[in-house]
Structure 1
Amino acid sequence: MTQPKTGTQPRAALNGRRSGRRRPELASFLRSRRERITPEDVGMPPGPRRRTPGLRREEVAQLAGVGVTWYTWLEQGRPINVSTQVLDAVARTLRLDAAEREHLYRLADVPEPPPVTDETHTMTQDMRMILDSVDPLPAALVNARSDVLAWNQAYAALFPALVNAPVAERNSVWFVFTTPSCCNPILNLEEQAPEQVAIFRYRYSRHLSEPGWQEFIQRLCTASPEFARLWATHDVAPPRPCDKIFRYPAVGDVATRTTSLELASAPGTRMVVYIPIDDESRDRIARLRDHPEAGAIRHRH
Structure 2
Amino acid sequence: GLRREEVAQRAHVSAAWYTWLEQGRGGAPSADVLDRLARALLLNDAEREHLFLIGLGHPPEVRYHASRDVTPRLQHVLDSLEASPAIVRTATWDVVAWNDAAAATLTDYATLPPPARNILRLIFVDARVRDAQQNWERVARFAVGAFRADIARGGATQAVQTFIDEMRATSAEFDAMWRDHDIHSHDEGTKEIRHPTAGRIALEYSAFSVTGRPDLSLVIFTPATPADRARIRALVAARDKARERADQSHAPAA
- The answer to whether the superposition gives a TM-score over 0.5 is yes
Decide whether aligned partners of structure 1 residues 289 and 127 sit closer, same or farther in structure 2, where only a CA change above 3 A counts.
Answer: same
- 3-state SS of the aligned residue for 1:267? strand
CA separation of 1:161 and 1:128: change in aligned 2, threshold 3 A: closer
3-state SS of 1:184 partner:
helix
Going from structure 1 to structure 2, the CA distance change for 1:242 and 1:113 (only over 3 Å counts) comes to farther
Q: Within 5 A, what are the aligned runs for 1:74-153?
A: 112=39, 115-117=42-44, 124-153=71-100
Shift of 1:148: 0.5
Q: Quote the offset at 1:256 in angstroms.
A: 0.5
| CA–CA distance in structure 2, aligned partners of residues 189 and 163 of structure 1 | 24
1:12-31 aligned at under 5 Å gives the runs: none
> Where is the strand percentage greater, Structure 1 or Structure 2?
2
1:224-265, Cα deviation, whole Å (9 max, x unpaired): 221111101011123321311111231110010111121121
1:173-219 C-alpha deviation (Å, 9 max, x unpaired): 21111112686312232222211111100112245552211221122
Q: Tell me if 1:277 matches 2:208.
A: no
Query: Following the alignment from structure 2 to structure 1, what is the Cα–Cα distance between the partners of residues 137 and 40?
Result: 44
Distance 1:278 1:177, change over 3 A: same
Match of 1:248 among 175, 187, 195: 195
Alignment-mate amino acid for residue 283 of structure 1: A
Superimposed CA distance per residue, residues 132-182 of structure 1 (whole angstroms, 9 cap, x where no aligned partner): 111221111112221111111111112335442221121112111111268
Do the aligned residues in 2 keep the contact of 1:241 with 1:258 (CA within 8 Å)?
A: yes
> Are the counterparts in 2 of residues 162 and 171 from structure 1 also a CA contact under 8 Å?
no
2:55 maps to which residue?
A: none
User: Given that residues 87 and 218 in structure 2 are in contact (C-alpha distance below 8 angstroms), is that contact kept between their aligned partners in structure 1?
Assistant: yes
| Pair 1:264-2:191 in alignment | no
The alpha-carbon distance between structure 1 residues 209 and 281, as it changes in their structure 2 partners (threshold 3 A), is closer
Count of residues paired in the alignment: 184
Letter in 2 for 1:253: R
Q: Which residue of 2 aligns with 1:185?
A: 132
Match of 1:157 in 2: 104
User: Which of 1 and 2 has greater Rg?
Assistant: 2
Structure 1 gaps of 5+ residues are: 1-87, 89-104, 106-110, 294-301
> Partner of 1:168 in structure 2?
115
Give the secondary-structure state (helix, strand or coil) at the position aligned to 2:212. Answer: coil
Among 223, 235, 253, which residue is 1:288 paired with?
235
Tell me if the contact between 2:83 and 2:223 (Cα under 8 Å) persists in the aligned partners. Answer: no
CA distance in 1, matches of 2:40, 2:161: 24
Counting only pairs closer than 5 Å after superposition, residues 2-21 of structure 1 correspond to structure 2 as none
Q: Is contact 2:208-2:219 (8 Å) kept?
A: yes
> Structure 1 CA distance, aligned partners of 2:40 and 2:159?
21
SS in 1 for 2:131: coil
Q: 1:271 to 1:159 in 2, by over 3 A?
A: same
- Where do 4+ consecutive residues of structure 1 move more than 6 Å? none
SS of the residue 1:205 aligns to: helix
Q: Distance in 2 between matches of 1:279 and 1:250?
A: 18
Is this contact kept in 1: 2:123–2:130, CA < 8 A? no
Rounded to whole Å, the distance in 2 between the matches of 1:171 and 1:113 is 36
* Deviation string, structure 1 residues 81-111 (Cα, Å, up to 9, x no partner): xxxxxxx9xxxxxxxxxxxxxxxx9xxxxx9
% of aligned pairs identical? 27
Change (3 A) 1:285 1:238: same
Separation in 1, partners of 2:118, 2:94: 4
